[in-house]
Amino acid sequence: MKSRFQTFVALRYLMAHPMHVSWLALGVAAVCFATAAVLMGVHDLLLVEPDRHSMVPNGSPYWADVVTARKLATGVGLFWIYVFLIRVAFTFYSTVSIVGVSIGAAALVLVLSIMNGFESDLRQKILGSNAHLQIGKEDGEFIEWEEIRARVDRVPGVVASTPFATSEVVIAANSNYFNVIVKGIDVATAVKVTDLERNLKDPEGIDYGSALDRLAPLLPDDAEPAVTPPLPVDPTQPVVDPAPPDLPAGGEPLDFSGAAAGDEPAPLDPAADPDFGGPDARAVLFDKAEPAPDDPAPPDFADGEPVAPGVPTDFSRPRTGARSTRSSGQRIATLPGVLVGKELVKQIHCYTDQEVRLVSPLADPMNPDATGTPIPYNRDYRVAGQFFTGMYEYDLKLVYVSLESLQQFLRMGDAVDGIEVRIHHPDAVDTVVARIQRELGPSYRVQGWRELNRNLFSALKLEKIAMFMVLAIIILVASFSIVGNLIMVVVEKGREIALIKTLGSSDTGIIGVFMIQGFLIGVIGTSLGVVAGLIGAWRLAVDGFPINPDVYYIDRLPVEIDLFTVVLVYGAGLVISIAATIYPAVVAAQLRPAAGLKQ
């Protein structure tokens, strides 16, 4: 009965008697809605194509500004309608307190939902380009990876696994150079662990076939050169450059000796021509061997094949003793493929089917240059395709090649750098890491995605905490209005407080009245603010707020509503609102009945 009476008194102090209509709030809302209607008409005039759901500015360079201004005017109008409805039921001071708390709660829910969206988007991109966990060897080369992978695949919670190798190299294309991380992957199993296959949509819109299949050379290294057949002659078309009339017909030998027609050709005199026929022909004609040259070629010259005197050496790859007629395009087709990111293409202009070179800082001491410095490992590759992950650093600094190609390039043999593993539930990565660690023992290092990206996600978590504390100040500021409101109630209702105490109410009972009043302000304000924030977050998730993708790498604000965040905001609003009532309640309890009745 006592608590019911305290609640009745608290509501009596909060509610407006009689109900009040705020014409000021209603007038401001009407002006805002009229402005939104005018901007909508301007928007319809500027819009060329009636696509109201387009995220790209249409028709006029001011199209997006008009849409943003119209939405802003509509939002301000709805806010003043909200103030008007609260003012109808509550007193002016109570309305100020409730609106202040609700604004703080709505801002917290909306901003934290956007930050959750950014974190979720970043996490999705990281886990799309990387596995959920990685396994590496603590010491020595990781050669027994096939056996380890078979054991890992039997661990509960594991979906798939794949070997990988990485190294930092320099990529060169079109006289441009850039430092990148090259990653060797097993094509057959990598697509089961990462989202690489989904990210391989060529941004140029050109269909080159499956980019993963193009990591292997398109032509074998010993392929015959292609022969382009001559184009057929169309007898109906006129000849652009006809032959002169005195040109002999096809098949007739041409005599450039200057002798008259019908004369016998002069006998050949090998002695008159010292270069006639080369050394072998001179040896046959003169029945003697050609003297040995002063500087004979070494026996292992030209890949170990002895070179006959006078015979030109062929350094081409197709066949010994024949000149190569392979075109540049055919030679590039024999190279292994490499996958490059969209941002790297912009940086060094390496487009699909162009030749690039990878240069490693590693060097072979058995292969020095003229100065005795070991030559770094380098190898030519062919751009097999482009990928777009939506993560700027990955699209700029990461390139993919086949695992076998990278092992040959870096002289790794059968060793790998580690094994990537995908699991059923990424949030349970710590549990699966513990299982695999127990299975493999201390000789192997098992790391989950949280540990691999600890700095990034720790920074995001710290940023969320800081943002929560900053935005909670809005509710804290609103709590001062609660303090002011209750102090005004104490001053204004001093006679009533004194009368209640005269009738037998204790100081604790008076404190309870004001505590209930602050609790009601907190409940009403926080509830309305949380609902408003959830509606705003839902509309942002459905409609989207367009942002510049060239700057932020996404085309709209990501939004993700988290139940824990909503409960945390609701609790913070209640705690701050109740804490704000402590001082006014103590002041009211200290009021003496005699002093109050004199007012």
pLDDT-based confidence at residue 104 (cuts at 50, 70, 90): confident
Number of other CB atoms surrounding residue 334 within 10 Å:
17
Residue 574: name the closest of 517, 532, 533, 519 by CA: 519
68 compared with 397, residue with greater pLDDT: 397
Query: DSSP 3-state assignment of 162?
Result: strand
β-bridge pairing 355-368 and 337-341: unpaired
Bond from prior residue into 279 cis (ω within 30 degrees of 0) = no
- How far apart CA 211 and CA 229 sit, in angstroms, is 30
Residue 359: name the closest of 376, 372, 381, 339 by CA: 376
What are the two backbone dihedrals, phi and then psi, of residue 259, each rounded to the nearest 5 degrees?
Answer: -75, 155
- Mean pLDDT (the chain) is 77
**Angstrom distances, CA of residue 186 to CA of 17, 149, 162:** 76, 13, 7
Range list of β-strands (E), 222-354: 337-341
- How far apart CA 158 and CA 515 sit, in angstroms, is 54
Q: Is the distance from CB of 388 to CB of 199 less than 8 angstroms? A: yes
Q: Is the distance from CB of 10 to CB of 517 less than 8 angstroms? A: yes
Residue 77: name the closest of 111, 38, 27, 41 by CA: 27
pLDDT, tens digit, 9 for 90 and up, residues 563-597:
888 998 898 888 888 888 888 888 877 777 666 56
- How far apart CA 521 and CA 108 sit, in angstroms, is 18
Q: How many helical (H) and strand (E) elements, i.e. helices and strands, does the chain have?
A: 20, 9
Q: ∠ at Cα 105 (103, 107), nearest 5°?
A: 65
- How far apart CA 284 and CA 521 sit, in angstroms, is 118
Highest mean pLDDT (candidates 136-140, 415-419, 572-576) = 415-419
**Angstrom distances, CA of residue 542 to CA of 29, 70, 103, 112, 506:** 25, 18, 22, 17, 54
Confidence (pLDDT) at 320: 40
pLDDT above 70 as % of the chain: 73
Q: Of the given ranges (67-76, 88-97, 179-188, 423-432), which has the lowest mean pLDDT?
A: 67-76
Q: What is the mean pLDDT of residues 380-407?
A: 90
Which amino acid is residue 501, in one-letter code?
Answer: K
**Angstrom distances, CA of residue 356 to CA of 177, 192, 531:** 10, 28, 56
- How far apart CA 484 and CA 495 sit, in angstroms, is 19
Cα dihedral 457, 459, 463, 466 in deg (nearest 10)? 120
pLDDT, tens digit, 9 for 90 and up, residues 462-486:
888 888 888 788 888 878 888 887 7
The two structure tokens encoding residue 215 = 């990591």
The two structure tokens encoding residue 236 = 């109906």
pLDDT-based confidence at residue 57 (cuts at 50, 70, 90): very low
pLDDT of 203 above 90: no
Q: What is the mean pLDDT of residues 212-229?
A: 71
Q: pTM for the whole thing?
A: 0.67
Q: How far apart are the first and last CA of the chain?
A: 29
Exposed e or buried b for every residue in 531-567, given b needs 16+ CB within 10 A?
ebbbebbeebbeeebbeeeeeebeebbbbbbbeebbe
Confidence (pLDDT) at 391: 85
pLDDT, tens digit, 9 for 90 and up, residues 287-330:
555 555 555 555 554 444 444 444 444 444 444 444 444 556 77
pLDDT above 90 as % of the chain: 17
Would you list the DSSP string of 294-315? Answer: SSPPPTTTTTTPPPPTTPPP--
pLDDT of 251 above 60: no
The two structure tokens encoding residue 51 = 């696509």
Q: Quick one: residue 425, left, alpha or beta (phi over 0 = left, psi -120 to 50 = alpha)?
A: beta
Confidence (pLDDT) at 338: 93
Q: Of the given ranges (151-160, 182-191, 268-277, 324-333), which has the lowest mean pLDDT?
A: 268-277
Q: Is the distance from CB of 2 to CB of 509 less than 8 angstroms? A: yes
Q: Is the distance from CB of 305 to CB of 299 less than 8 angstroms? A: no
Number of other CB atoms surrounding residue 198 within 10 Å:
12
**Angstrom distances, CA of residue 294 to CA of 83, 121, 273, 276, 308:** 106, 74, 22, 20, 15
Q: Is the distance from CB of 161 to CB of 194 less than 8 angstroms? A: no
Confidence (pLDDT) at 81: 86
Q: In the beta sheet, which residues pair with residue 363?
A: 376
Q: In the beta sheet, which residues pair with residue 183?
A: 166, 400
